[in-house]
Amino acid sequence: MRRDDADGNSPLSQARCEIEKTPLEGECQRPGEVRYKGMLLVCRPHAALLQLEDRAQAVLGSVFRMDEWLQENGSSEADEENLGRIRHEREGALAALRHIRVQIRSARKEVLQ
Ligand SMILES: [Zn+2]
C-alpha cells in the first residue's frame, strides 16, 4: 500500500509522525499516515489520541458554558424548565467526559507501544 517509489531517490523521505510539533509529546518514530486538521502529519495512534483530546476539550468547554449559565440563572425560578434541561445536559456531558478520559488512557498506552 505504501508508495515508496513516488520519488525514489531518498528512502529517508518517508514522512515521519510530526507529533513533536505539538506541545503534547516528544518525538515519535512511526511513519506519518494521517493528516491532522489539515496540518500535522501524524501516525494513527497519535491521530486517535489527538482526536480524543480535542473531543474532551470541546465537552469540557460546554460544561463550563453550562456552569456559567447555571450561575447566572440558577437562582431565578422563572425558568424551571430550562434549568432542569441544562442540569440534565450537564450530567450527560460529564458522563461523556469520563468515558472519553478512559479512552484517552488506553490511547496513550497505544501510543507508547
Ligand atoms: Zn506518532
Note the maximum CA span of the chain: 72
User: Ligand 1 centroid vs 92 CA: distance in angstroms?
Assistant: 32
pLDDT tens digits for range 83-112: 899 999 999 999 999 999 999 999 999 998
* Overall pTM surpassing 0.85 (yes/no): no
Residues within 5 Å of ion ligand 1, judged at the Cβ atom: 17, 19, 28, 30, 43, 46
User: Ligand 1 centroid vs 30 CA: distance in angstroms?
Assistant: 5
Contacts of 64 (CB under 8 A, 6+ apart): none
| Residue 78: predicted pLDDT | 62
Quick one: DSSP state of residue 10?
A: -
Report which of 35, 40, 48, 45 is spatially closest to residue 18, judged by C-alpha positions.
40
Cβ-contact 82, 70 below 8 angstroms: no
